[in-house]
Structure 1
Amino acid sequence: MDESNSIPEETDVVTRMRTANRRQDYGGRRPNQYSHWIKEQMSWKETCYIGRWSFLGNLRVEGPEAVDVLADLSINSMEDFEIGQGKHVVQCNDDGKVIAEGVLLRTDDEEYVVHGVPAYWTGYNLENGTYDATGEYRDTFNFQIQGPNSLKVLDEVAEHSLRDVGFMRFDSIDIGGNEVRAVRFGMSGELGFELQGPAEYGEDVWEALYEGGQEFGVRRLSAKTSSINQLEAGIASRVRDYVSAIFGDDLAEYREYLRETATRDLITHPVEGSFDGDDISDWYRSPVELGWGRYVGDHEFTGRDAIESELDDPDRTLVTLEWHDEDVMDVYGSLFESGETFKYMDMPHQQKRAMIADTVVRDGEPVGVATMRGYSYYFRQMLSLCTIDVEHSEPGTEVTVLWGEGGEPASPTVEPHAQKEIRATVARTPYKEDRRREDIEHE
């Protein structure tokens, strides 16, 4: 049983998050490791991987006003949104803080498919609004195939070529007699596709990809290292980099809707680290802070006023931090020395679903918050994402990460330890070159 689920709802939200434990079900929908995390990490640079994201929500929205509910909830413009096109969709609360982000596809004149947490925020608003549109949750598989050899694998196993599919576009292919939607996008920063279809034949598609990909070096991606691709690509994610902005009194009904509707726990959200705040909103983030300000359209949407005031003069932006090797090695070295140890760094990243948020300082003053700490074997570097004051965001800027808890940890899953100052350098974001848009038609 997940101990976090027994924490009373009336408990202060910050206390609940500080004492929650999600280690037990981390990666419960994916094996913790298939082969070896180093080999899996190298796959999306040298060959390719297949990974499972079938736990994501899937909502089909249909009707004359389907586009209206999506436009009202999303910062993204729905103008010039073509059939066969996809968007990275971001949805916010009234204060302009991110509730959900995921993928939106336009599949017909009055039909859209929403993937991820936005499926539930959209479904809730359909049920509680007056839109001439309906939503249907569906049981689907959702696999990613990413890396330089991903197209070769699909050429091998599919009946239809995808070489004319542009980035954030999709087409249908046949794999083993099963129709599969192939969406060209991904979180690895490399050429890749997301493959979707009814759950009933998902395992057949998975096996076809794995068997057909053997000659091209395909590897299966496990939970142990799956977030490193997002870290290298500079893509923030819910849980690791921000708390969904759903804990206000005005969204109590939505939280109850999530408990009744979502196929996984989207409310329990452990937080750890040296960063602390008086209210759970201190762990919320705006689209501008997370690098998604470019998505903001000209239309009216929930949270627009707050976001608009931030666009022209943002306080913080998203960067990557390189953690200095010597200080990181001190953390591991403390395990072999007498005296108090520093907080252990799981390899290659934390093996629990939590936002480990650590204060970043410069000249003794807080300037940002580091999240998604992880080790990239490809770069031989400990990295993290960081929302940082704009004036300190220039690559090459030296800062310090306060690694560890801010005081005596409230969580029973965090052992007492000394806090460690770790030097870090602001680096480019994305850290790895983005190759997702490479021309595949003429290769």
Structure 2
Amino acid sequence: MAYTVQDMRKGPEGYAWSRFGLPEYTDWMDESLSWKESCYIGDWSFLWQHRFTGPDALKLIADFTVNSFETFEVGQSKHAVHTNKDGKVIHEGVLTKFGEEDFMVHGRGGYWLSFNLGRGEYDAQVTRDDWFMYQVSGPKAIKVLESLTDAEVLLSAKFMHAVPVRIAGHDIFALRQGMAGELGFELQGPKEFGEDVYQAVLEAGQEHHIRKMGGRIAMINHLEASYPTIASDYIPAIFDEDMTEYMEYFLASMPSFAQPAYIAGSFEGRDPSEYYRSPIELGWAKVVTTRRADYLGAQALAAEKANPRRVLRTLEWNAEDVAAVQNSLLGEGEHYDFMEMPRDQRGYMWCDRIEVDGVLVGTATSRGYSYFFRKMLSLATVDVEHAEIGTCVNVIWGAPGHPQKSIRAVVRPAPYKEDRSRGELRAAS
């Protein structure tokens, strides 16, 4: 099936759907403070897992992944990015090496690699695993976790390395990472252990005021810490004619009511490709290797890395202009599109025009309200010449054909929040 921009604007039944489906547990303001003041447990078990094994497993991965594999230790994880021939992101996720011929892919990338395994001559196999994935992050996270397992193993973990731990009587893995920009681990293991592990973490976290991360706030830490996300900040580069076969393969994995992408906002792209993004535009240039040219998209990415057109920034939206949008709902007559708090929940790539003197200079995505900073923020891919910190721009709010508001905004760094994820674990224990 071919999708047009108009199809993506309305969805198959006129609406999009939430990828989380989680409730609020306390309230979203309280939960949003957890990764700055205490800690949270967030459930990301909805991500798909594919396990690739065999002598050619790493070759398969390398042929379709932008990362360097010159060094890749057993137990190490990488932020693996898969691009099309033009260097636009198809999928991305976490890749972990569990053995010399044993690799786990978390996220949609496993489908892309499985598809290419079936089309090539690789001595490798793929199986679907079903694991739980619980992020435990925040300034008190280490105290919670070290009370549950061998503290020395936990505290010795290097960043983006998974260490074996035992929690609630189960042997699982703890991946040191920091999606909230704070110290933290992602607990991973077979789904049948999940409930025991989750409850053990909650019980141990009570004295440290742990919070469950609810669905309304789940993506605000991505915004504050600048982690662009598929379907929120870009759509997968799978809508081109040469990807038709893969599109059919991928659609077979999705719920019947869903489609691969939904879009909204003031930016009026004429073709799905205008909503694609490269790893460079998404702030992932450091993972893109130029030391080899044998992966899909290598040539395009080498050229872009040497001379980028757009870069990732945070935008700080003007409070008076945001208030004018919200206040329009309290008067008679036409009003601006509702600016949901803390952010849209429906799974759209909400993509708004960024202008300087009426000229398009980029797009804003992941618009959300940070209760901690008391700011309306967004991520933005913006032209290099307008990306200097402190630059004033305007974001156009309102769908095409609706009343639109030009909102003043200031270019700020990405990440907006200080990144403390690589800090010293022992100092927090």
TM interval, short-chain normalised: over 0.9
Task: Tell me whether 1:302 sits opposite 2:296 in the alignment.
Answer: yes
Tell me the distance in 1 between the aligned counterparts of 2:172 and 2:255: 22
The Cα of 1:265 is off from its aligned counterpart by: 7.5
| Counterpart secondary structure, 2:59 | helix
Aligned length, in residue pairs? 424
Instruction: State the AA in 2 paired with 1:436.
Output: S
> In the TM superposition, what are the counterparts of 1:113-128 in structure 2 within 5 Å?
113-128=104-119
Deviation at residue 305 of structure 1 after TM alignment? 1.1
User: Given the alignment, which residue of 250, 253, 258 partners 2:242?
Assistant: 250
SS in 2 for 1:56: coil
1:208 aligned partner: 200
The answer to whether the aligner puts 1:364 opposite 2:358 as a matched pair is yes
CA distance in 1, matches of 2:169, 2:251: 37
Q: 1:268 aligns with which of 260, 266, 276?
A: 260
Contact 2:92-2:107 at 8 Å conserved across structures: yes
Q: Are the equivalent residues in 1 in contact too, given 2:16–2:347 (CA < 8 A)?
A: no
1:283 paired residue number: 275
TM normalised by structure 1 equals: 0.93
State the 1:309 CA deviation: 1.1
| Residue of structure 1 aligned with 2:339, choices 334, 345, 364 | 345
Shift of 1:24: 6.4
CA distance, structure 2, for counterparts of residue 194 and residue 267 of structure 1: 28
Relative distance call for 1:442 and 1:349 in structure 2 (3 A) is: closer
User: Which residue identity lines up with residue 403 of structure 1 in the other structure?
Assistant: W
Residues 1:360 and 1:90: Cα distance change in structure 2 (over 3 Å): same
Per the alignment, residue 410 of structure 1 pairs with none
Equivalent position of 2:383 in the other structure = 389
Distance (Å, rounded) in 2 between the aligned partners of 1:247 and 1:266: 15
Q: For 2:168, which of 154, 176, 189 is the aligned residue?
A: 176
Residue matched to 2:141: 150
Report the CA distance between 1:352 and its aligned residue: 0.7
The aligned residue for residue 413 of structure 2 is 428
Cα distance in 2 between the residues matched to 1:75 and 1:253: 22
Deviates more, 1:151-160 or 1:30-39: 151-160
Conserved? CA contact 2:44–2:132, under 8 Å: yes
Shift of 1:426: 0.2
Partner of 2:222: 230
Give the Cα–Cα distance (whole angstroms) in 2 for the partners of residues 23 and 278 of structure 1. Answer: 20
Which is worse superposed, 253-262 or 397-406? Answer: 253-262
SS in structure 2 opposite 1:441? helix
What is the rounded CA distance, in whole Å, between the counterparts of 2:286 and 2:223 in structure 1?
20
SS at match of 2:321: helix
How far has the Cα of 1:176 moved from its partner?
Answer: 1.0
Quote the Cα distance in structure 2 between the aligned partners of 1:80 and 1:22. 47
Equivalent residues of 1:60, 1:136 under 8 A apart: yes
Counterpart in the other structure of 1:140: 131
How far 1:120 sits from its partner (Å)?
A: 1.2
Deviation at 1:160, TM superposition (A): 4.8
Inter-CA distance 266–118: structure 2 relative to 1 (3 Å threshold): farther
SS of 2:354's equivalent in the other structure is: strand
2:89 is aligned with 1:98: yes
Match of 1:437 in 2: 422
1:355 is aligned to 349
Which runs of no fewer than 5 residues in structure 1 stay unpaired? 1-8, 408-416
Give the Cα–Cα distance (whole angstroms) in 1 for the partners of residues 17 and 349 of structure 2. 15
* Aligned-partner SS, 2:301: helix
Paired residues of 1:22 and 1:270 also in contact (CA < 8 A): no
1:261 is displaced (CA, Å) by 3.5
- The alpha-carbon deviation at position 124 of structure 1 amounts to 1.3
Contact residue 10 and residue 16 of structure 2 kept, 8 A: no
Match of 1:84 in 2: 75
Task: Name the TM-score, length of structure 2 as normaliser.
Answer: 0.96
Aligned 8 A contact 2:16 2:348 in 1 = no
Shift of 1:321: 0.2
Q: 1:373 to 1:126 in 2, by over 3 A?
A: same
> Alpha-carbon deviation of 1:333?
0.6
Report the Cα distance in structure 1 between the residues aligned to 2:341 and 2:269, rounded to whole angstroms.
27
1:52 to 27, 43, 48: 43
Cα root mean square deviation, aligned: 1.6
- Residue 356 of structure 1 deviates from its aligned partner by 0.6
Q: Percent identity of the aligned residues? A: 45
More displaced, 249-258 or 265-274?
Answer: 265-274
Q: Give the whole-Å Cα distance in 2 for the aligned partners of 1:25 and 1:390.
A: 34
**Matched-pair contact (CA < 8 Å) for 2:92–2:108:** yes
Q: Per-residue CA shift, 1:160-216, capped at 9, x if unaligned?
A: 540010111110111111111100013100001111111112111111111111011
Aligned residue type for 1:435: R
Shift of 1:30: 4.0
Cα distance in structure 1, aligned partners of 2:379 and 2:256? 26
User: Residue 41 of structure 1 contacts residue 225 of structure 1 at CA under 8 Å; is this kept in 2?
Assistant: yes
1:375 and 2:360 matched: no
- Structure 1 equivalent of residue 23 of structure 2: 32
Report the Cα offset of residue 264 of structure 1. Answer: 8.7
- 1:125 to partner: Cα distance: 1.2
For 2:161 and 2:108, the matched residues in 1 are separated by 21
Secondary structure of 2:147's aligned partner: helix
The aligned amino acid for 1:287 is P
1:318/1:264 Cα in 2 relative to 1: closer, same or farther (>3 Å)?
A: farther
Inter-partner Cα distance in structure 2 for 1:377 and 1:124 = 42
Q: Distance between the aligned counterparts of 1:137 and 1:84, measured in 2?
A: 20
Deviation at 1:267, TM superposition (A): 3.9
Cα distance between partner residues in 2 of 1:201 and 1:80: 32
Corresponding residue for 1:398?
392
Aligned residue in 2 for 1:330: 324
Counterpart pick for 1:187 among 166, 169, 179: 179
